[in-house]
Chains A and B, each alone.
Chain A
Amino acid sequence: MPADGGIGASTRRREDVRFLTGQGNYTDDINIHNQAHVFFLRSDMAHGKINGIDTAAAEKMPGVIRIFTSKDFEGVGGIPCGWQVTDRFGEPMQEPKHPVLAEGFVRHVGEPIAAVVAETLQQARDAAEAIELDIEELPPVVDMAAALEEGAPKVHEDLKSNLCFDWGFVEENREAVDEAIRNAPHVTTLELRNQRLVANPMEPRVAIGVYDRAGDEHTLYTTSQNPHVIRLLMGAFVLGIPEHKLRVVSPDVGGGFGTKIFHYQEEAFCTFAAKAVNRPVKWRSSRSEAFMSDAQGRDHVTKIELALDEEGKFLAIRTNTLANMGAYLSTFAPSVPTWLHGTLMAGNYTTPLIYVNVKAVFTNTVPVDAYRGAGRPEATFQLERVIDKAARELGIDPIEIRRRNFITEFPYETPVALTYDTGNYHATMDKLEELADLKGFEARAAESKKRGKLRGLGVNCYIEACGIAPSNLVGQLGARAGLYESATVRVNATGSITVMTGSHSHGQGHETAFPQVIADMIGIDPEQVEIVHGDTAKGPMGMGTYGSRSLAVGGSAMVRAAEKVINKARKIAAHLMEASEADIELKDGQFTVKGTDKSVAWGDVTLAAYVPHNYPLEDLEPGLEETAFYDPSNFTYPAGAYACEVEVDPETGKVDVCSFHAVDDFGNIVNPMIVDGQVHGGLGQGIGQALLENCVYDDDGQLLSASYMDYAMPRADDLPFYTVDHSCQTPCTHNPLGVKGCGEAGAIGSPPTIVNAVVDALQRAGHDVTHIDMPLTPARVWAAMQG
């Protein structure tokens, strides 16, 4: 570990001091003088026609300032969708309006119908109970297959059907794939469900709208992963507020996991209502509301077919997925099962022919959107599960079958539109075999058996695509946004540095890791560098944090801006030392003239920039502050190999995870400790999905898992101690740091590992079990063992 705290140092996270001592400034910690509170009256019905909303009695209740319904939002836009998918016939997806408050119909439990603004939250809630709703119940559609049947009730009466789009990728390969599968010596088929999840960040969502009548200026404080995107979406598409009159602030945010990327009705409402009532308006989600209003994750039903030759070489993949959109299109929902999922179906392997079909379906459920991994876990799960099944069918070792198909030459163009720039999949697998002591498995299994437990081993690989880019390409794919990142590096007169980044930290540790990079470039103490984020008034237009993009894209923008700063500082140093710029070197915070003992300190140069007495004013502006926008030329491709061992209790079906080994290639690493933490968190969520978490609606569209009484979040004692390793490093070839991104890997790679291990345990014990749908609860595992 470098002693200077630069790149490669496991520096302790400076932000944790305030987080862990209760000094964080979360949105709910913000209270504006004279603020009013809003309570949303939400639908308790999955589908219904609104015949009337009578607010007369409620308006007379104590403390009520104003009650809003959809009537108050006439002329106001719907919540926009940020990605348009074109179907396989060249038609745009069906895109229903997503109103701020329900218009004419309610379409999922939890949809806001009316909003009561009152002096206190208690009063708002009391008044909401006095609102009389006349809603005629309509038959809901919950199951995706049923929703696509002829004559099924429609979620949106004005749409042709419940089919949002029918996407084929790559459509030109469809027939070739069909033929390859028809003629293949062996085809392994697997039908599975990637169940719906609730993101459950520790901090529930909060929004505070503030309006300054004097300046006609709006401010929204919100728990967002990307405040600039919220400003653009809400300002331009919903409320018609220009950017210079709208400030969006996302201070400390207590976890996002994707669900805080999106623009939500409550944000638009609070911004709108603050002007309407001329009072700051605050909303804080209860945990119960979060369960039925935060965009949910996953929810795919898939049939995958893998064609192989006798040696286990992959010939073709065909996969058909139904992807649940919920009742409305959340901000990036259409991109998740398509461009973030279909493009990953090659995995780490040389399969020459791949065809992916995705039918996105509207149902009377909470909208679904990106959740840690977003499409990539769904791709990895089906691919790694079907490979495992194929290996068993062909009697080939699961590791060997993967090795036979690994991509070994880079750059590699997949048949699903990506170009992997670099990787070394044998190296990560070698490392995994060594760390996980796979040779010792049989002895451990025998020991488990003595205690009456069935031990199983699961191994698989994953690849992900991070830092989605470049903007012009994603624009062609339907993105209605750019995917660059920005940074301003502001050097202060005494040499300290303030970096305004468009990335947003909601637990990732940017405030520690980003300064390590700057410190390394200049040779100063990282404590001299401060990161500012989460406020549209402070930094340039940024795209925020999701898809493991912060360091790869935001960090690269920061490097580019810092390079500009250093170039200018070099000119100043050359002037101060009366030397040629070409001879100036920067090391350890000192500018020196090559081949001489002349030097000038970083702080003297920065002071000269702001006190330009001895300064080349005719050639150079004073000041030392630069901005860069970085638009990557490609995705980055982290990849890895995971192994776990489980013990199944044959009497109860309970699965214990005994060990988990994760070997990841993230390219270069800035702060190994933070990377360990990111992988630990991802593994926790992946194991949570594999064993515990399940968002379930009944046939009436009622959410059965609507609280922690029924939604099983992973607890510490559900998880093993992890072994994580990131010593296999193939640096990204196209960004200046050579970094790839590590936020989602654990959640992508681990669900198939667990399921592979449980299936292994059961098969070793003689059970004819080839698959169990997640979560692998004791009840499901036991039922599978009963045959």
Chain B
Amino acid sequence: MYEVIITRPRSLAEAIEALGDDNATPLAGGQTLIPTMKQRLAAPEVLVSLAGIEELSGVTIGDGEITIGAATTHADVAREVAGACPALAALAGGIGDPAVRNRGTIGGSLANNDPAADYPAAVLACDATIITNDREIRSDEFFDGMFGTALFEGEIITGVRFPIPERAAYAKFDQPASRFALTGVFVAAGGGVVRVAVTGAGEDGVFRWDAAEQALAKDFSPSAIEGLSPDPSGMIGDLHGTPEYRAHLVGVMTKRAVEAALG
């Protein structure tokens, strides 16, 4: 790691001001950024820590929706939403290990948009809204390819608003080494709409699987998607699985998510 200055603003306004510095980078839970800095692959001059900002942390469960502060850790989400949205709680509780879950935050995960991260699948499937210091962004407009998002330079996520789905589940197949999602599928159904979001598999990061959404909208059952899988072109191929394998897993994990959503 290179020498770096860390600032710890106490309010969102102070954080925004600190991030006005061109050399400043926001630091959420640091579960990606800090290891990258240790390897000297990232070298921010100034880190603006968002961890101590009270207004960015916490979960509010309202009428049909859950709002989660960007700096809320995975462990807190897993605990707080267990009653309101078990699928989201299970997803948060399955990220990394206890150390990761007690440092890593939902805002950090979404801003990073790792192609194998779990949260993007939940956000996209639930049609959540990303709230920033400046605006609100619908999930369909937020994710923009591997590690890409609609966020502007200096814009930070302050929270995420999830409509509570009538039925939902997340089925994740672990990459054997990292235990990130080799393929993870979040299925959410509500108001006659079914959304299926896939993480870990696509070369452009998280994506919605239209064919499965249509099939499930007609018949929300595992049999509706029996034998269905997306086109392997556009799927990731690496040490841990070919595009064909990942395409197949998308089908299997979707089926399992539907089974779980039906209880």
Contact = CB atoms under 8 A, between A and B. Distances in A.
A277 B241 CA distance: 50
A651 B242 CA distance: 15
A709 B178 contact: yes
A779 interface: yes
Given A708-B178, A709-B178, A783 B252 contact: no
A709 B248 contact: no
Interface string B203-247: 000000000000000000000000000000000000111101100
B252 A652 contact: yes
Contacts of A779: 240-242, 245
Given A652-B249, A777-B240, 11 more contacts: A653-B245, A654-B173, A692-B176, A694-B239, A696-B239, A704-B239, A705-B177, A710-B178, A777-B241, A779-B240, A782-B245
A406 interface: no
B239 A710 contact: yes
Contacts of A651: 252
B173 A711 contact: no
A713 B2 CA distance: 29
B149 interface: no
A507 interface: no
9 closest Cβ pairs, A-B complex: A712-B177, A779-B241, A712-B176, A709-B178, A779-B245, A651-B252, A710-B177, A692-B176, A710-B239
Question: Taking each of A129, A710, A779, which has the highest tally of chain B beta carbons within 10 Å of its own beta carbon?
Answer: A779
B102 interface: no
B177 A783 contact: no
B131 to A, nearest CB: 31
B60 interface: no
A96 interface: no
B248 A782 contact: yes
A567 interface: no
Given A288-B39, A651-B252, A708 B242 contact: no
A603 interface: no
Contacts of A288: 39
A711 B242 contact: no
Contacts of A713: 177
Nearest to B1: A122
B201 to A, nearest CB: 12
Contacts of A708: 177-178
Interface string A707-733: 011111100000000000000000000
B19 to A, nearest CB: 27
A258 B214 CA distance: 56
A745 B98 CA distance: 34
Contacts of B180: 709
Contacts of A125: 40
A652 B173 contact: yes
A482 interface: no
A684 to B, nearest CB: 15
Question: Taking each of B2, B39, B240, which has the highest tally of chain A beta carbons within 10 Å of its own beta carbon?
Answer: B240
Interface residues of A, number: 25
Question: Taking each of B2, B182, B248, which has the highest tally of chain A beta carbons within 10 Å of its own beta carbon?
Answer: B248
A120 to B, nearest CB: 12
Interface in A642-671: 651-654
Given A651-B252, A708-B178, A783 B239 contact: no
Given A651-B252, A652-B173, A782-B248, A705 B239 contact: yes
A24 B101 CA distance: 30
A778 interface: yes
B174 to A, nearest CB: 9
A696 B240 CA distance: 11
Question: Taking each of B2, B178, B182, B245, which has the highest tally of chain A beta carbons within 10 Å of its own beta carbon?
Answer: B245
A288 B40 CA distance: 12
A595 to B, nearest CB: 68
A777 B176 CA distance: 8
A128 to B, nearest CB: 10
B108 to A, nearest CB: 18
Question: Taking each of B39, B40, B178, which has the highest tally of chain A beta carbons within 10 Å of its own beta carbon?
Answer: B178
Contacts of B242: 779, 783
Nearest to A710: B177
Nearest to A692: B176
Nearest to B237: A779
Contacts of A653: 245
Interface in B242-263: 242, 244-245, 248-249, 252
Contacts of B241: 777-779
A183 B128 CA distance: 72
A651 B239 CA distance: 20
Contacts of B245: 653, 778-779, 782-783
Contacts of A712: 176-177
Contacts of A778: 173, 176, 182, 241, 245
26 contacts: A125-B40, A126-B2, A651-B252, A652-B249, A653-B245, A654-B173, A691-B176, A692-B176, A696-B239, A704-B239, A705-B177, A708-B178, A710-B177, A710-B178, A777-B240, A777-B241, A778-B173, A778-B182, A778-B241, A778-B245, A779-B240, A779-B241, A779-B245, A783-B242, A783-B244, A783-B245
A705 B176 CA distance: 12
A152 B45 CA distance: 47
A328 B249 CA distance: 41
A652 B182 CA distance: 11
A609 B151 CA distance: 83
A129 B1 CA distance: 13
Nearest to B241: A779
Interface string B65-108: 00000000000000000000000000000000000000000000
A101 to B, nearest CB: 22
Contacts of B173: 652, 654, 778
A705 B177 CA distance: 10
B223 to A, nearest CB: 14
Interface string A108-132: 0000000000000000011001000
A691 B240 CA distance: 12
Contacts of A711: 177
Contacts of A654: 173
A696 B239 CA distance: 8
Nearest to B3: A122
Contacts of B248: 782
A197 to B, nearest CB: 13
Nearest to B256: A651
A654 B176 CA distance: 10
A749 to B, nearest CB: 23
A651 B178 CA distance: 21
A414 B39 CA distance: 52
Contacts of A694: 239
Contacts of A129: 40
A730 B177 CA distance: 40
A306 to B, nearest CB: 32
Contacts of B178: 708-710
